[in-house]
């Protein structure tokens, strides 16, 4: 195991993977905001909205997986780059049987494990509580072969989820390939890899719209500043500094989507979905309306037009008073920030030839 990691580390250093330490340090230092602080945040509604998108994506692919299985069959999930465990309740609600949580930031993994234990305790007290087993470890998914860290290296997974984190691996080809192999190699044929990542096309579109020599753009809640040649963007290492109000402040990399598709194929992953958040919202709102209302305290949803020129059926009146915006509305700045992202899903094929 140690040798494998040393080899991977050596590869990483050779490819100039200097940013993973910066990213790990940033997330380790990030304090978990209390409920009071979260309610005051400028991105309060955006966080709820992003959480809803993740729930929709998880529910969509868990439903497809359950459809292939018999009642009582085990459901095993890998939450790659799990952070502080923001999706634990989603896994609980999806009635999974086993969860593997890993992240580069040790402090986050510890918090995630504590949250899991709270969920377990609550389930034990309740008559109808659902219990699932879980394992936790901190490591760099772009460098280390995760399977060697699992309690059972022959484990077969049904779903791998990587939320708001996969783009960190596009620092180099070696890192991207390692991360995709980690996502793919223990997936059962028919299983899914799902992710939410920044949409590189949208980012470049906004950069161009900011002016011919612009190197940065953003608004009150987010900012992107490029640190690479934007005229001839590299396939890997297209680095920018991403700032999201009070949550993120670290280097990220553009994900060249055609390259991601090719790398996925090498590992038997076939692209089955690529949708921008705006499109995914429109598509899944009919099934997810009630959940959206529960998750964000929404009062009603109406058609609303924002300056992107397109008509979005949009989150309109949220309950509660928020600073500097009409009573309870997802602000335009938040909408601009959340529409930087896309959802994608890959299906594991029997072999890489099929994909
Ligand atoms: N997935 C969680 C969620 O949706 O709440 C956390 C998302 S947070 C924006 C990004 C996470 O990716 C951080 O917890 C960070 O530590 C993790 N991360 C970044 N690079 C990583 C790497 N190379 N290996 C493992 N985790 C990484």
287 touches 268 (CB < 8 A) = no
Find the 81 Cα to ligand 1 centroid distance in Å. 4
Q: What is the dihedral of CA 58, 59, 60, 65, to 10 degrees?
A: 90
Establish whether 54 is an annotated binding residue: yes
Of 83, 113, 142, 169, the residue with max ligand 1 atoms within 8 A of its CB, to mutate for a pocket test, comes to: 83
> Looking at ligand 1, which residue's alpha carbon is closest to its atom 9?
164
20 touches 104 (CB < 8 A) = yes
Find the 309 Cα to ligand 1 centroid distance in Å. 33
Q: What is the structure's pLDDT at 296? A: 65
350: tokens are 């029997």
* Helical ranges in the chain per DSSP H: 2-14, 19-29, 35-40, 44-68, 88-93, 106-125, 173-184, 200-209, 257-266, 277-296, 332-338
* Helical ranges in 99-256 per DSSP H: 106-125, 173-184, 200-209
- CA of 83, closest atom in ligand 1: 14
- Angle, to 10 degrees, between the axis of helix 277-296 and the axis of helix 44-68? 100
The ipTM is 0.99
198 touches 340 (CB < 8 A) = yes
> Looking at ligand 1, which residue's alpha carbon is closest to its atom 5?
86
Q: Where are the domains of the chain?
A: 2-30+57-348
Q: What is the spatial distance between Cα 103 and Cα 291, in angstroms, rounded to a whole number?
A: 28
Find the 82 Cα to ligand 1 centroid distance in Å. 6
Q: What is the spatial distance between Cα 145 and Cα 5, in angstroms, rounded to a whole number?
A: 7
2-30+57-348 is classed CATH 3.90.79.10 = no
Find the 86 Cα to ligand 1 centroid distance in Å. 11
Whole-angstrom CA distances from 202 to 125, 171, 226 are 47, 19, 14
Q: What is the structure's pLDDT at 24? A: 86
What DSSP assignment string belongs to 263-282? HHHHTTEEEEEEEEHHHHHH
**In residues, how long is the chain?**
355
Find the 181 Cα to ligand 1 centroid distance in Å. 17
Question: Cα dihedral sign for 18, 105, 296, 77?
Answer: positive
Tokens 């011919």, residue located: 212
Q: What is the spatial distance between Cα 161 and Cα 20, in angstroms, rounded to a whole number?
A: 20
Establish whether 51 is an annotated binding residue: yes
- How many beta carbons lie within 10 A of that of residue 69, not counting itself? 12
What does pLDDT average to in each consecutive run of 10 residues of the chain (355 residues)? 41 57 86 68 88 96 93 93 97 96 97 96 86 97 97 97 98 98 97 98 97 95 95 95 92 98 97 97 90 64 38 39 48 93 96 78
Find the 27 Cα to ligand 1 centroid distance in Å. 8
77 touches 160 (CB < 8 A) = yes
Q: What is the structure's pLDDT at 26? A: 87
Q: What is the structure's pLDDT at 329? A: 64
- How many beta carbons lie within 10 A of that of residue 264, not counting itself? 22
* Helical ranges in 191-322 per DSSP H: 200-209, 257-266, 277-296
- CA of 26, closest atom in ligand 1: 16
Of 9, 11, 23, the residue with max ligand 1 atoms within 8 A of its CB, to mutate for a pocket test, comes to: 23
204 touches 26 (CB < 8 A) = no
Q: What is the spatial distance between Cα 181 and Cα 169, in angstroms, rounded to a whole number?
A: 12
Residue 252's DSSP bridge partners are 240
Report helix, strand and coil shares of the chain as percent, to nearest 5.
40, 25, 35
Whole-angstrom CA distances from 306 to 17, 292, 311, 319 are 39, 20, 7, 20
Q: What is the structure's pLDDT at 82? A: 98
> Looking at ligand 1, which residue's alpha carbon is closest to its atom 6?
83
């Amino acid at each position: 195991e140690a040798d494998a990691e040393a080899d991977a580390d050596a590869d990483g250093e050779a490819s100039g993977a200097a940013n993973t330490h910066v990213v790990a340090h940033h997330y380790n230092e990030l304090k978990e905001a209390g409920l009071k602080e979260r309610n005051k945040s400028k991105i309060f509604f955006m966080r709820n909205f992003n959480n809803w998108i993740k729930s929709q994506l998880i529910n969509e692919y868990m439903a497809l997986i359950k459809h292939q299985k018999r009642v009582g069959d085990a459901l095993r999930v890998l939450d790659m780059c799990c952070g502080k465990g923001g999706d634990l309740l989603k896994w609980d609600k999806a009635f999974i049987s086993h969860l593997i949580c890993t992240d580069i930031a040790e402090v986050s993994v510890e918090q995630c494990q504590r949250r899991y234990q709270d969920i377990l305790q609550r389930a034990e007290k309740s008559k109808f509580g659902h219990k699932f087993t879980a394992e936790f470890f901190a490591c760099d998914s772009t460098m280390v072969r995760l399977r060697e860290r699992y309690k059972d290296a022959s484990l077969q997974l049904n779903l791998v989820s990587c939320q708001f984190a996969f783009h960190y691996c596009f620092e180099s080809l070696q890192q991207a390939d390692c991360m995709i192999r980690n996502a793919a190699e223990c997936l059962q044929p028919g299983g899914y890899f799902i992710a939410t990542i920044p949409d590189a096309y949208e980012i470049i579109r906004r950069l161009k719209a900011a002016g011919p020599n612009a190197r940065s753009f953003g608004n009150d809640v987010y900012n992107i500043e490029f640190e690479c040649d934007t005229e001839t963007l590299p396939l890997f290492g297209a680095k920018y500094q991403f700032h999201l109000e009070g949550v993120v402040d670290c280097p990220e990399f553009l994900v060249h989507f055609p390259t991601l598709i090719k790398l996925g194929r090498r590992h038997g992953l076939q692209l089955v979905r690529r949708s921008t958040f705006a499109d995914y919202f429109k598509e899944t709102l009919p099934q997810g309306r009630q959940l959206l209302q529960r998750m964000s305290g929404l009062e009603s949803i109406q058609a609303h037009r924002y300056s992107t020129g397109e008509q979005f059926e949009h989150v309109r009146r949220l309950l509660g008073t928020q600073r500097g915006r009409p009573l309870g509305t997802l602000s335009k700045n938040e909408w601009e920030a959340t529409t930087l992202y896309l959802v994608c899903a890959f299906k594991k094929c029997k072999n890489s030839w099929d994909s």
